Amino acid sequence: NAGVTQTPKFRVLKTGQSMTLLCAQDMNHEYMYWYRQDPGMGLRLIHYSVGEGTTAKGEVPDGYNVSRLKKQNFLLGLESAAPSQTSVYFCASTNWAYNEQFFGPGTRLTVL
Amino acid sequence: ELKVEQNPLFLSMQEGKNYTIYCNYSTTSDRLYWYRQDPGKSLESLFVLLSNGAVKQEGRLMASLDTKARLSTLHITAAVHDLSATYFCAASLWGKGGSEKLVFGKGTKLTVNP
């Protein structure tokens, strides 16, 4: 079991560029989440999904889109990156049977 | 709106000493989580507290929950250098489809000095 994996680990973008972050889990979890972590802040929820084909907004959804076409994958897209989106992005997954979310290793994104 | 406040945000302590980190949350929450994060790493789950009066212990760390006061504490006993890390608490909200959304505190950066 690889658990929760994230691709890429690091990325540098220029303002206005687009990119997609991939989160994959091999635990057959229903629920998946995207968080961002900024210095001096805890994690903040961007979007989440309760199953294949369904997504919902979290606390800070503006500037991001998500898709969950397959149960094991949850994609986070930035259509036009801004410096304010410089952050570390964490993906997590779980299902109703667990009392915890399982976090991926993170993606460090810098927007210049 | 659920808000979570941790204090202190920075804690420098000597090895062998005891200390407590406090986590207050603003509205009713069913669960309270504690996580540890080492620099450049992901989050490691420490405890989940499910009911009023819940107490869990693992090694030198003990977490408790008072839902009436909306307060959780993480107590460190006889600190050692290996406990140096950032500790986050998170309270939960129910989201769509039975899912659980977490609202995190800003974290407490703990440094244990020899």
Kindly report, residue by residue over B54-92, the tens digit of the pLDDT. 999 999 999 999 999 999 999 999 999 999 999 999 999
Please choose, from the candidates B89, B103, B13, the residue with its C-alpha nearest in 3D space to the C-alpha of residue B56. B89
Give the gap in angstroms from C-alpha B16 to the nearest C-alpha of chain A.
Answer: 27
**Pairwise CB contact (< 8 Å): A48 & B99:** yes
Kindly report, residue by residue over A57-92, the tens digit of the pLDDT. 999 999 999 999 999 999 999 999 999 999 999 999
Average pLDDT score over residue span A5-13: 97
Best to test chain B binding among A41, A74, A103 (most B CBs inside 10 Å): A103
Confidence band of A31 (pLDDT split at 50, 70, 90)? very high
Q: Chain A residues with CB-CB distance to B under 8 A? A: 30-31, 33, 40-45, 48, 50-51, 54, 56, 58-59, 90, 94, 96, 99-101, 103-106
Rg of chain A over CA atoms, in angstroms?
13
Chain B residues close to A59, C-beta within 8 Å = 103
CA of A90: which chain B residue's CA is closest?
A: B42
**Pairwise CB contact (< 8 Å): B101 & A58:** yes
* Residues ≥6 apart with Cβ < 8 Å to A4: A23, A24, A25, A27, A91, A92, A93, A102, A103, A104, A105
B13 interfacial to chain A (CB closer than 8 Å): no
CA B109 → CA A76, A84, B14, B41, B106, distances in Å? 29, 24, 14, 14, 10
Confidence band of B9 (pLDDT split at 50, 70, 90)? very high
d(CA B87, CA A17): 34
Which letter does DSSP use for residue A29 in this model? -
B3 interfacial to chain A (CB closer than 8 Å): no
CA B31 → CA A100, A103, B66, distances in Å? 10, 18, 11
d(CA A98, CA B52): 19
Beta strands A31-37 and A87-94: pairing type? Answer: antiparallel
Q: Are the C-beta atoms of residues A54 and B96 closer than 8 Å to each other?
A: yes
Chain B residues close to A45, C-beta within 8 Å = 101-103
Average pLDDT score over residue span A44-61: 94
Give the percent of chain B with pLDDT over 90.
82
Average pLDDT score over residue span B85-107: 91
pLDDT for residue A2 is more than 80:
no
Higher pLDDT, B31 or A98: B31
Best to test chain A binding among B31, B50, B99 (most A CBs inside 10 Å): B99
d(CA B17, CA A23): 41
Average pLDDT score over residue span B10-36: 94
Q: What is residue B29's predicted lDDT score, i.e. its pLDDT?
A: 87
pLDDT for residue A20 is more than 80:
yes
